[in-house]
Amino acid sequence: MKNAMKSLCFTLMFFTSLLSFAQQRTISGTIKSGDGEPLPGATVVVKGTTNGTISNFDGNYQIQVGQGDTLLVTFIGFKEVSAVVGSESIYDFILIEDTEQLEEVVVTGYAVEKKSDITGAISIVKTEELDMVSTPNVISKLQGRVPGLTLTSSGVPGGNDTQISIRGLTSVFGGTGPLWVIDGVQTTSPAGLNPNDIGSIQVLKDAASAGIYGTEAARGVIIVTTKQAESGKAKITLDSRVTLNTVRDNFSVLGSQEWLDVRYIAQGNVPVTAGNITYTPGTPLPEFLDSDNNLRVSNTDWINVILKNSISTTTDFGYSNGSERYKVFMGLGYSKDDGVIEHTYYERTNFRLNSSVNFFNNRLTIGENLTVSNFQEVKGNSMEDALLQNPLIPVYGEDGTWGGPVGAGLQDKWNPLAILYINRNNVQKTWRTFGNIYADLTIVEGLKFSTKLNFDNNRFKFNEQTEAFNQNGSILGNLVYLSGGEEVARYSRNRNNMDTYIFTNLLTYGRELGVHSLNAFVGHEVYRKDQDNSYYRVQVPYGTEVDFENIEAYDILADNSNLDAYGIGADSRRESVFAKASYDFKDKYYLSASIRRDGSSRFGRNNRYAIFPTASIGWTISNENFLLNSEIVNNLKLRASWGANGNADILEYAQYSIYQQAIENSNYDLNGGGSGEIDLGVSPNQVGNPDLKWEQSYQTNVGVDASLFNNRISLVLDLYEKKTSDLLLQVIQPSVLGEAGKTLFFNAGDMTNKGIDVVLGYRSSPQKAFTFGADLTFSAYENEVTDLSSSDNFILEGVSYTGVGHPIGSYFGYIADGLFRTPEEVAVHAVQPGKALGNIRYRDLNGDGVINQDDRTIIGNPHPDFIYGINLYAGYRSWEFNVFFDGRQGNDMYNAQREMLDFTYFGFNHGRNTLDAWAVDNANSLIPGLSTSDVNDQKRASTYFVEDGSYFRLKSVNIGYNFSTKTDSFFKKLGLDAGKFYVQAENLMTITSFTGFDYEVPGLSRTGIGIAGMGVYPHTKTYSFGLNLQF
């Protein structure tokens, strides 16, 4: 009976399955847009299953279904449609554009606005473009993507020396970088922020957009909103990238034989002494440099010794889940950037938790955004030592010790690799925790109260523990011999704790009455920053293992040149009230205004408060009846704005007179005996100014937004003028006020920036299988200091000149008028000490017959004529391709590397230009003749060192493949929903006439812009493979 029952059940199951199979059938159809164009790549899926397909080039599709199944059809930019399968075999679909999806919403100051309503100058960064660059530094990822943004950096791992300005420099002694607002946290640095956590970035460039941030907004504002969960099923993501880093630029100096030949000529054909070598051309070299036969004569490429290829990795996990009641996003990230210089690296670990809960039918939302970041780095750089170290010296001696100079003629540079090795444990560690907790309460429809407590806690820790090393039998580095013969070592500890809290309360009102729309808010904000910095340097017997956490227990070192134990607690406070209102009539006419009043503890008691108003208008011409149904113009909007911003980025206690008590300069022998104990007093360090106030920037902006030819062509154009007054200056006080060399801050100066920002784009029809497009960003500005009430009406620091009528940071010096090539030229030239054949001839500008300081002038402008970026992209079905170019044009650079490498005044290594130096038989050379004596003072600042810094670069190339388990069953078996594989390369090609080692150098202030020194950390050329997976 049981066997019969089993047979019956099996039979029923068999026929049921046959019946079910018989009900499955193939249906087909065409998917088109509302204007009748086919939509290739549209997704068709059976609801509740993973059975799906995509439409082909003509919009056609086929799929196996059963009667009663529900088909879901989706396509980016269009509303989803569905249909229940009946007895028909053909199901055609027409998709309608989703205007809500296309109406982009952006985060601005304290509010969220539709992009179409914005009347200010705001650049929106596409977050997918951030993935085109492999650096873990978010600032570097913005390069070339935002018009009006200027960026400088070296190639240091992690990119933490990157500097940025928006629409040019606006301050002389104040800060230059923009205000960053990360989930409401106001900061001057995004250090520790994981780029993969970013949901959106908006750059506020004009006063009307940024003015709501008052005293912090003169330099522009960058608003970052991190990722939030969406309602729907739980989602797990994995993003991972592996990058090979290679040195981008060529660093080349002389080899051993070349150095000997150049030195021989420079010494006037006198034999060259180098250690155990006495060289004249044709003389064979000995086997060893030293008499102990330890240092074998070599041809060491010291640059190649300290540089390497390296591997960097980035891995990020994400989890998100959400419903109508709650949302949770959690991320965990790790990034390791090994430097291309030995024993340097950057490492970062991130944790992010963003969550929110709704109560009382969504009338109350309570949430938080939290980022915890730990990053550490070893900053080592012996590039200058490697460029100058003599190639005759080997890396290691025969006895295994480090190789270094020995005897005469080799100078005194330490082994460049040894310098990096003994620095390898000097790890700088930072913990940063920032975010907020908030509550949003809807009081009545349209009226909402929001309260938010933002926090930013930083803990910096640096134990300086440089080691000693054995070079040719001598112990160098961290070993000091005291007068009594005692051997000691010196260590230091640096701790810097900084806590920032911002408490913001906001009342927001929004109402639509027919064709009228009004949005407004008023707010109150309290800002508090507390800092605690301590520094100790101690001296201990050599070989002592130092307990850095109890460093106070050791002998604190203090002498006449070092202040080796100190503490600073620089705190600041700010209180603000602000308001903004925006009005829209018929989606055509827009009016917006804001006002903010700030009070800051950083400024004098007589100028502690200031008011910053802004206003803007807009007109969407395309919504007028005469353009409403235009086949050419889809969107056309005119914008204009004006406003005032401030800059409060100066020292916290700049307003006060400061006195210090220090052994090295606050002592006096009151008894006059010349021996015994001295009396310790106080000495002035800074002269106070109770009238000190913030810099004021007034900016006018006129812009146009346009979309043409069915949104194929887009244009955003802005013209602006920014005038900054009350520039913050700092001067050295005369000795009649007490101790000479003490500083005073005061307001005295004006500056103007005028410029243009352009974004021009083209995209093909999204309805084709093959899509392509291009974006061009272009910006240009002119900077001019219009007033500077200092004693000399200018500020000169090295070669950098800031003075009235010229751009900030201009180059100042002599005009190098070629070389003296004939005795007649030497004879008729003005009085110039050291003039001779083959030496630089300097121009007598004032015609007084003497070359002196009065003949100096502006010799270069480091600000570019324009900056640009070109983004080309294409896609075919699941494949995507992207090429990005960027460049700058018309900027001068000061090649300070040539000061050491073009001249042979020292016995270090020399640059390759010396192989083409002037000589009687090489009279047309542009390189001065070789000599060991600088009688002509040829290292003085002059146009000899000024070069064109323009460049055009292939910044990145990306190829990616996107997949979905709806169409790829193979990935479904792996448990995946969607994903992407990609390869990318960066800095593959550069065109530039700059002859220095690197056309990108750090520096973006009055003290130096575009000055290429010897200690540059090389930029990299990179090759990456990455994947993004979604489960």
Integer angstrom CA distances of residue 362 from 304, 325, 358, 384: 63, 8, 5, 62
Instruction: Return the pLDDT at 17.
Output: 42
Compute mean pLDDT per 10 residues along the chain, 1031 residues long, and list them. Answer: 44 40 76 79 78 81 87 78 87 74 70 86 84 81 87 85 88 82 90 89 92 88 90 88 94 95 96 94 93 95 96 95 92 95 96 95 94 95 96 96 93 95 96 96 95 96 95 92 85 94 96 92 96 90 91 72 62 94 94 94 87 95 89 93 88 78 60 60 77 90 94 95 90 58 77 96 84 95 90 85 94 97 96 96 96 97 96 91 96 96 94 96 95 96 97 96 69 75 95 94 88 92 93 87
Cα gap 628→649, rounded to integer Å: 47
Determine the straight-line distance between the first and last CA of the chain, rounded to whole angstroms: 48
Which residues make up the CATH 2.170.130.10 domain(s) of the chain?
A: 101-227
In 768-878, beta strands by DSSP E: 770-788, 794-797, 800-803, 810-813, 816-819, 840-842, 857-860, 866-876
Is residue 250 classed exposed, middle or buried when 0-12, 13-18 and 19+ CB atoms within 10 A define those classes?
exposed
Q: Where are the alpha helices (DSSP H) in 211-328?
A: 256-266, 302-306
| Beta-strand relationship, 728-732 and 770-788 | unpaired
Cα gap 991→948, rounded to integer Å: 12
> Does the predicted model carry a pTM greater than 0.85?
yes
Match 């880093």 to its residue by tokens.
245
Cβ atoms 186, 216 nearer than 8 A: yes
154-179 in b/e burial notation, b at 16+ Cβ within 10 A?
Answer: bbbbbbbebbbbbbbbbbbbbbbbbb
Cα gap 238→981, rounded to integer Å: 12
Instruction: Return the pLDDT at 4.
Output: 45
Instruction: Return the pLDDT at 14.
Output: 41
Closest CA to 643 of 581, 754, 584, 723: 723
Which residues make up the CATH 2.60.40.1120 domain(s) of the chain?
A: 23-100
Q: Amino acid identity of 687?
A: V
Instruction: Return the pLDDT at 332.
Output: 96
Instruction: Return the pLDDT at 7.
Output: 46
Architecture of domain 23-100 in this structure: Sandwich (2.60)
Beta bridge partners of 418: none
For the domain made up of 101-227, the CATH class stated in words is: mainly beta
CB atoms within 10 A of CB 473: 13
Instruction: Return the pLDDT at 22.
Output: 40
Integer angstrom CA distances of residue 957 from 760, 873, 984: 20, 10, 5
